[in-house]
Structure formats: structure tokens, C-alpha cells
A and B are shown apart, each in its own frame.
Chain A
Amino acid sequence: MTLRTPASPEELSRVLTSAGYLPDTGLATAGFLALRLGRPLFLEGEAGVGKTAFAQALATATGTTLIRLQCYEGLDASQALYDWDFPRQILHLRTIEAAAVASGERVDTEQVEASLYDRRFLIARPLLRALEESPCVLLIDEIDRADDEFEAFLLELLSEAAITVPELGRIAAPTPPVTILTSNRTREVHDALKRRCLYHWVDHPSFEREVEILRTRLPEITERLATEVAQACRALRELDLLKPPGVAEAIDWAGALHALGAQKFDVEKAAATLGAVLKYREDAVRVHAHGLAELIKK
């Protein structure tokens, strides 16, 4: 597999659009520089603005696969980098023993030990897999959910595209994987990690772009429904809610309204599908008090 690298940010923007993702200038430039300079890209932004979707679209646009590592607290090297396949190692050992007994030969312990720590007994977890399958897009999702011990594992990978396995030595990728890290900023990520990356803050899209995104992701809905849902979501973001809706919620909402047969923003159907866009009871109460019909008034 080869990495298709675009010649300019505009070209990347075009291929991403045809992959179903509409980036703005900043994000397209960020993606272009990540590809061109081989530097990891660190994306921050509100939940649901399309950080994860960007990595997926980038994989499609560059004609490679996406390898995803979802971070969580307690994530450690054996789940993220590699692990030894102990049952197979023991089985291998027993086989050598049985063969030695049958043939009556003495077992060379050093040789046995060396054969036990062979690449074939190593289980590749997402990060090692990304190095071995590179070129590919590696998505390290929600790095802020992992604890800071885990960030240290990433430093060698991010700056040198290599992992050191003590028993085997250094495993390096000939071409570094295109690495995207995302964070929702639940905690401050260490400077040492950020320094190795390009940084981009992903904002909510402009109104026109959001309409375009809805039309691209849901080609079956009417133009009027797309426009009005985008308008309503923009109004919701100004309502000072606990969780303002992102693009992901806008897509869900438009999809839900369409599933109910709506051709336009219908107050009754909108009330029935409000759960697709608002995830807190307090927010729903506030929007009902504000009036759903108000949302699409200019």
C-alpha cells in the first residue's frame, strides 16, 4: 500500500471532500503539513466537531487503512504496544522438550531461549501494528483519557516512529504512519508530547459549511431540512447549554427527522427527536421553555 500525498492543502481538501468530509482551510492545511512533514497532528476541540471523523476521512483520502487506539485510564504497554503470546511460547517449549526426549539429544538452553523471544510470538497491539503496516493512518483517540504514564510510551513512537522491545530490539517503520491524536481537554497533556506535534483547535463549522456537511453525509434529506437543522443547531449553540450540539449531533438529528418523514424542520417531530441532539434533561427543559419554533427564526 502506498500513501497518496496531495500536492497542496487545496488538493487535500478536494480529496477529503470526495471522501465525505468537508474540512475548513485550517484543518486542510494541518492535514497537509502532517503528511508533508511527517509530524503527528494533535487535534483538540469540543466533542462532536469531527476530530475522529477527520482521521477516518484522511485514511480514505490517502488510500490507506486506519488503525485506531482508543485511550482509557490504565491503558498500558501490553494493550497499546505489544504483548508476548505466552501460551504459544509454552507450547513451543514443550514441543522442543518432547522432540529432545524422542531423539535423545541435549537441549541447548540458550538457543531455546532465543527462539522463545522471536517476532512470531509477539502479538502486535495497535501501535506496533501501525508501525509494521505503515503507511497507514494511526488514530490515538482521546489521549486525555489515558493517564500520564501512558504518554511516556508514546514519546519514542511519535518522534522516531519506532518502538523498542527489550527482548527483540528496536522495531522502526520505514515510513512513519500518519499519526492523529485527539483530545477533549479533560486534562492538560504533557508539553513533551505536544512539542512533537502540530497543534490544531477544531471549531464548530460555519453555517454554510454545516449545511454542506449535512447534505454530503445525508444525501437523501431535503435541502430545506438541512438548512433548517443547521440553523436550529446554531441557535442551540448560542443558548448556553450544558452540552451544545456538535456536527455529529446535527447529523443525527437531521437523520432522525428524515426517518420520521420530515421534509422541513417540523416542531412536533423536532420535539420527538430532541434526544438525538440534546443529552441533558436540563438542556431539553431550557429549549422547550425557549420554544422550538424560535430556533429557526432568523
Chain B
Amino acid sequence: MIEVLVGFARCLRHAGMRVPPDRVQAMLAAVDALGVTDPAGVYWAGRLTLCAEPDDIATYDAAFAAYFRQVTPPAPVSASGSVSRIGLPFQLDQVAPRAERDDPEVIEEPAASDIEVLRHRDLTQLTDQERDEVRRLLTLLAPTPAPRPSRRRRPARRGEIDPARTVARILRRVGEPAPPAYRRKSRKPRRLVLLVDVSGSMAAYADALLRFAHAAVRRRPSSTEVFTVGTRLTRVTRALRHRDPDLALAASSRLVPDWSGGTRLGEALKVFLDRWGQRGMARGAVVVLFSDGWERGDPSLLADQMARLARLAHRVVWVNPHKGRPGYVPLVAGMVAALPHLDDFVAGHSFAALERLVEVIARA
């Protein structure tokens, strides 16, 4: 029986769930406590010990059905590749190893003035070599919002008197008066939420924008969240936590089912607010939307959701690559609907524009 259960754990790993050995141990103990004769008992023992979040449950259910119905040994789940991969399942052969890509013969070090020109060039009009250089520059960006005051207090040289530490000092001197100790409210990084439109009209910018998002996630992994928006909403934060930008992008693009499709901004935003935003992710956060505002759905839904977002978030920033073009006027229905609810409306068409965005985020 133990072998069967360990095999099941392996099957779950193939399906993309993270199943560390101590969870498998816990499952064995749970199956033991419930008795193995009852299939429902085995189901619950596994689900309670191996799942760690609601998204795991669907994967678990599918794997359980596939594994325990057939008597033959496992593995078909991974072989078929039909089960969606969640987490960070890398296939290294898809991306060239780092050493090869960083080959000094391929990339010539550009002169300072070249970089200056490159910084202002539209991201869609780059040669391959320029694109590599912009990608390198993007890894150097550090988009981080200004910290917010935390409720947690820290010892400090000045500030309010800290009674506990003051009295502790007095006690240490066996009752003699001691100089007072002080404390201060500490500061915490404010949450940054990036929503990147990956629909057809934004496809040319999506790579650079996701690299921008990767730079933000690498900088503050625990207070940054990234979603892609198209006809549906996909959370790619976990995939982007990988150190290497190319691997991180490969992993996140495997998660996104709707690359270069249509855009239903209003609906996707609603899903974001229902599932994550209103519970807390958007509360007090800096929310940045990267989109050109082409909306296939109902613009009034987008307007409602933007109003909702503006009430929750600390600051809402919209990045529209077209804004960088001379003579741009926001006429697209989605953009018109969103405009009244924005704190900042900036361009994002070139590296320089993204640098400005970093400043806007830092000021927020």
C-alpha cells in the first residue's frame, strides 16, 4: 500500500503539484489513521495532507481519478502532458543554457551614445541585437513602491518611549534609573500588483513588459504580484520568481493559455478583484495595468471595475504604449472608460518610458 501511495505522490508531482517528502509522510500517517479500506478515506487523507491551496484541489482530484481507477502502474499523466502545469516545471532543453547566451562574441558592448538612442526607441522596432541589449537593461531596473508605515514597532534611537525595554533596562541595573529606550513604527514595502495585457494588440510589447515584471518580482518577491490579462486572467507570480529571466518567462508563458488572443479587460479585472483584489491583494497596493485599452467586452463593465479598483488601491497606474506616440489621444472605448479612475497615465513604449514608470511607482 505504501508503494501505491508514494506512486500517487509521484503522479501528483508529474501533474505539477509541489509535494515535498514530509507531506507524503503526513499522508501515510493520515491513511493509517483513517484505515485503507475506504476509498473516500484515502481521498481525504491525501487531499488534506498534500494540497496547500485551492488551486491544488482540481489537480489533485484529476490525478486521484486517473491514478486510482486504473490498476496498471502510474505515469500516463505526465506523458500525455494534458494536465496543466502549475508551479515551476522547467524543461531546460527549451531554453539555451546561460553560458551560451552570454557568449561575449554575440553581444558587442554598445557605446554610451548608442544606449541613449536605444533607450528612446520603440520596443517593437528593435533589431535582435538591440532587443538583447534592452533585455539586459531591463534586468537592472528595480521597480519598487515607496514603503508604507507598518503597525509593527522597532527599537530606535528616537521616537516614542518603549516602556517594556525601558523597564527591562532598569531591572538590569537592579532598580537604578536608566535612560529611556525608544521605539518607532517600522516601514514595510507596499504591495505592487502588475496586470499585463498579453492580447494580440499588445503582443509586441508583452515580452518586455513581462521582463519588467520579472525585475519587480526579483526585487521584492513577497510583496509583488503579476497577472496576465487577455480573454482570461492568469497568475504568473510564482513562475516569475525564478532568478533567470529567460527561464522565468518560459515558465510563465507555459501557464498563459491566451497569448495574443482577444481582450476582455473588464471581465478579467472583475475576476482579479473577486478572487484576489478585494480580499486584500489590491488593498493599499500600487496597481499597474499595462494595456492599450482595446476592449472587446462591455466598456461600462470596465468602468465599474476600475472604480472598484480605485476604491481599494493606494494608487492606480495605467501604462499604455501608444501614449508614447506623438499626437496620441485616448479614444479607444476601454481607455475612455478607465481614464477617470486613474492616478497616473503613462507611456510604456520604450526603455526610457519604462524607466519613468519606475519613478512613478517609486513616488506612489
Contact = CB atoms under 8 A, between A and B. Distances in A.
Contacts of A149: 152
B20 A78 contact: no
A147 B222 CA distance: 11
Interface residues of B, number: 41
Contacts of A97: 175
A153 interface: no
B66 interface: no
Contacts, number: 109
Q: Lowest 7 CB-CB distances: which A-B pairs, in order?
A: A186-B280, A74-B151, A86-B167, A29-B44, A198-B48, A74-B152, A36-B33
A187 B23 contact: no
Given A84-B164, A90-B175, 8 more contacts: A73-B150, A83-B164, A89-B167, A94-B175, A109-B174, A186-B280, A198-B49, A200-B47
Interface of B is mostly: helix
A131 B99 CA distance: 54
Interface of A is mostly: helix
Interface string B42-76: 00110111011110010000000000000000000
A78 B151 contact: no
Given A29-B48, A89-B167, A93-B171, A72 B151 contact: yes
Interface of B: 20, 22-23, 26, 29-30, 33-34, 40-41, 44-45, 47-49, 51-54, 57, 150-153, 163-164, 167-168, 170-171, 174-175, 188, 222, 274, 278-281, 283, 308
Contacts of A184: 279-280
B26 A93 contact: no
A30 interface: yes
A86 B34 contact: no
Interface residues of A, number: 48
Interface in A156-212: 184-188, 191, 194-195, 198-201
B227 to A, nearest CB: 14
A194 B18 CA distance: 12
29 contacts: A25-B40, A26-B48, A29-B41, A29-B45, A32-B33, A33-B33, A33-B49, A37-B26, A39-B26, A76-B152, A76-B153, A90-B170, A90-B171, A93-B171, A97-B175, A113-B174, A185-B54, A185-B280, A186-B279, A187-B281, A195-B22, A198-B30, A199-B48, A199-B51, A199-B53, A200-B48, A201-B54, A242-B278, A242-B308
